[in-house]
């Protein structure tokens, strides 16, 4: 059975006498462009998850970003300028995410302290009633 490739790379498949179609590795520039594009898409999804306050999704996208950064950096034929620009955007986003996380952490700490004061006040009230 001959498998068809869904990609549109020029020269992605070559005719082979014995097999029919043999897949050829895509050009390195295309692989790099796809790695950067995936990283940019994950970056956009990360921003959307932060804005929505979906912290579970933020955690998963963070892991995915880390994997994609590692993959982009492993590419021997990478376009360093494009990678730098993409990573700079990601860095700015992470700075915002960290600031937002710290703000949320502060609010949660305040709520927890308020609850603890309320609990202590309830105990004192029960002691004198």
Domain boundaries, the chain: 13-98
Distance CA 8, CA 118 (A): 64
**pLDDT tens per residue across span 68-99:** 888 888 877 778 888 888 889 889 988 988 88
Reported as a single tens digit per residue, the pLDDT across 6-62 is 333 333 333 334 444 554 555 556 666 787 888 889 988 988 998 898 889 999 999
Task: State pTM to two decimals.
Answer: 0.60
- Label residue 39 exposed, middle or buried (CB < 10 Å: 0-12, 13-18, 19+): buried
DSSP-derived 3-state class of residue 38: helix
How many Cα atoms within 13 Å fall on the side-chain side of residue 94? 13
List the one residue out of 128, 125, 36, 129 whose CA is nearest residue 89.
36
């Amino acid at each position: 059975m001959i498998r068809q490739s869904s990609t549109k790379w020029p020269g992605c498949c070559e005719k082979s006498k014995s097999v029919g179609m043999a897949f050829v590795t895509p050009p390195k520039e295309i692989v790099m462009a796809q790695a950067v594009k995936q990283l940019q898409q994950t970056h956009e999804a990360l921003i959307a998850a932060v804005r929505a306050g979906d912290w579970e999704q933020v955690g998963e996208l963070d892991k995915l970003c880390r994997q994609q950064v590692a993959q982009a950096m492993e590419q021997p034929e990478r376009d360093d300028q494009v990678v730098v620009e993409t990573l700079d955007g990601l860095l700015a986003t992470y700075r915002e995410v960290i600031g937002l996380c710290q703000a949320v952490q502060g609010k949660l700490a305040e709520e927890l302290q308020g609850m603890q004061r309320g609990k202590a006040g309830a105990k004192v009230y029960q002691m004198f009633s």
